[in-house]
Chains A and B, each alone.
Chain A
Amino acid sequence: MDMMGRDMTSRKPPPKVVSREIDENIRKIYQEVVEEELPDRFKDLLAKLRGQESGDGKN
């Protein structure tokens, strides 16, 4: 307890300005990956799945 009688051991959420910056950074680390080019392994995988489906065994 401090002089104002507040329990300083309780975990207060960060102030608004910090929360905003945290949210902005979460969006940034997410967006970085979203904007990456899709690796070739997925293009290959999709071609394979489509090939199986059409039944012509293409690719």
Chain B
Amino acid sequence: MGKTDAGVSPPDPRDELVTHLPALRAFALSLTRNGSAADDLVQDMVVKAWTNLDKFQPGTNMRAWLFTILRNTYYSDRRKRRREVPDPDGIMAAGLSEKPAHDGRLQMNDFRVAFNQLSDEQREVLILVGASGFSYEEAADMCGVAVGTVKSRVNRGRTRLGEILGLSENESLEMTDQATMAVITANAATTR
């Protein structure tokens, strides 16, 4: 995917668009929290982007452009459909166990459920900055807010996840102690 040689026609933006679809599906799922709604959203976004490709400025970040279209489509759909969208938190919360299993690692399912309880604003910045590799500045542009706002949403999102999952400072120390004790006990057993 390097630069094309002089004389070779520039890469077709349609080909680049296709390469971003897996990441766009992942972002869509984090917004909609529902697999088929996510793919519907990506489909709408692809049609929109495809028919507006002449507005894309070559040489700028197409990934950011596409993520922004996806995000705008999500929020405008949400406004239109607000009355039919049920609050999923009750259902989501029902599946959440009180605490993560004490094997020193978060259980992925608990984590997913906890993540889905965050606000749209927190989920999107955590995905944009934490998983998609956008900078705080890019995420701020995409969300139409100040960089400081993105940073505080990221921090609040992390804090909230820690609270939902019951991960306090004491607990993580406790977990470390248990792990340490397990190692000590195992070593003692083998040397005896």
Contact = CB atoms under 8 A, between A and B. Distances in A.
B72 interface: no
Interface string A37-54: 011011001100110000
Interface stretch (B1-9, B21-29, B86-94): B21-29
A42 B46 contact: yes
A36 B127 contact: no
B115 interface: yes
Contacts, number: 92
Interface in A6-59: 11-15, 17-19, 21-23, 25-36, 38-39, 41-42, 45-46, 49-50
Given A18-B167, A39-B39, A45-B46, A26 B130 contact: yes
B18 interface: yes
Interface string B165-178: 00111001000000
Contacts of B131: 26-27, 29-31
Interface residues of B, number: 37
Contact of B106 (A19, A21, A27): A21
Nearest to A27: B131
Given A25-B108, A42-B21, A45-B46, A30 B132 contact: yes
B128 to A, nearest CB: 10
Contacts of A27: 130-131
Interface string B89-113: 0000000000000000110100110
Interface of B: 14, 18, 21-23, 25-27, 29-30, 39, 42-43, 46-47, 50, 105-106, 108, 111-112, 115, 126-127, 130-132, 155, 158-159, 161-163, 167-169, 172
Interface of A: 11-15, 17-19, 21-23, 25-36, 38-39, 41-42, 45-46, 49-50
